[in-house]
Amino acid sequence: MKLLRYGDPGQEKWGVLDGAGQVRILDDVLTAVTGDELSPGWLKQLQNLDPEKLPLLKTERRIGAAIPRPLNFVCIGLNYADHAAETGAKAPKEPIVFLKALSAFSGPFDNIRIPRGSKKTDWEVELGIVIGTKASYVSEAEALNHVAGYCVVNDVSEREYQLERSGSWDKGKGCDTFGPVGPYLVTKDEVPDPQNLNLWCEIDGKRMQNGNTRTMIFGVQKLVSYVSEFITLHPGDIIATGTPPGVGLGVKPEPVFLRPGQTVKTGIEGMGEQVAKTVAAE
């Protein structure tokens, strides 16, 4: 099942994608759906519905982030062996964990705003894990029981702020619009092997990233378990699992970065694509 959110920012409603790729409205049926949002029971009731019998969204609406605003937007750094190599970094012995500011959380087709004075805004397509039930100190064997599904995330990053302005990475990761999520939340039953998914990023039609989740250093189960040792994960929280090679910072002989007026397309096999325009921040 592919769930999505449509509507103006802050006023999004749940919808579901039917077999023809059309958005169906869930407003009426959700009044009878019990349990917490994104919990296994909640999702099971939605999966038992026949999308073809639900009302069709007849007017074109903005597609927002695939889930409501999370409590925790967790990111993992240098989690692809081939990406670590392109940046000249050593593969980490433990997952590198940082938090992305919630002001970065945005929709898959919203504009990406280049911060004032930025010269090194970069792209990072990533597989996002969406938590379905509270997770604290969970084992790797139990980890997937706490996952609702997966989505596309672009961990947009300003490299000068991240790497050259001292302190933690957060300054380069949490700028407004630096965390597009979606277009869909794909439930985990449709993703039998999250460690074998193609993912890509194109800038103005040129393929820059072309990777596969099998080159992750730490897989989905490990990451959910590991993060839950330090941060209690709540329904709707996201773990962005790292990016494959091909980021602008790694381009040879000279790095390439985003500028206003470009088109950024990011996608993951079976999870749809984001398409964003870059604009200068006001």
> What does pTM read for this prediction?
0.97
Amino acid 14: pLDDT: 98
CATH 3.90.850.10 correct for 73-280: yes
Domain boundaries, the chain: 2-53, 73-280
Task: Compute the average pLDDT of residues 231-239.
Answer: 98
pLDDT in tens, 154-212: 999 999 999 999 878 889 999 999 999 999 999 999 999 999 999 999 999 999 999 99
In which band, very low, low, confident or very high, does the pLDDT at 102 lie, cut at 50, 70 and 90? very high
Q: What is the mean pLDDT of the chain?
A: 96
Q: SS3 for the chain, per residue?
A: CEEEEECCCCCCEEEEECCCCCEEECHHHHCCCCCCCCCHHHHHHHHCCCHHHCCECCCCCCECCCCCCCCCEEEEECCEHHHHHHHCCCCCCCCEEEECCHHHEECCCCCEEECCCCCCEECCEEEEEEECCCECCCCHHHHHHHEEEEEEEECCEEHHHHHHCCCCCHHHHCCCCCEEECCCEEEHHHCCCCCCCEEEEEECCEEEEEEEHHHECCCHHHHHHHHCCCCCECCCCEEECCCCCCCHHHCCCCCCCCCCCCEEEEEECCCEEEEEEEEECC
pLDDT in tens, 65-93: 999 999 999 999 999 988 878 877 788 99
Amino acid 168: pLDDT: 81
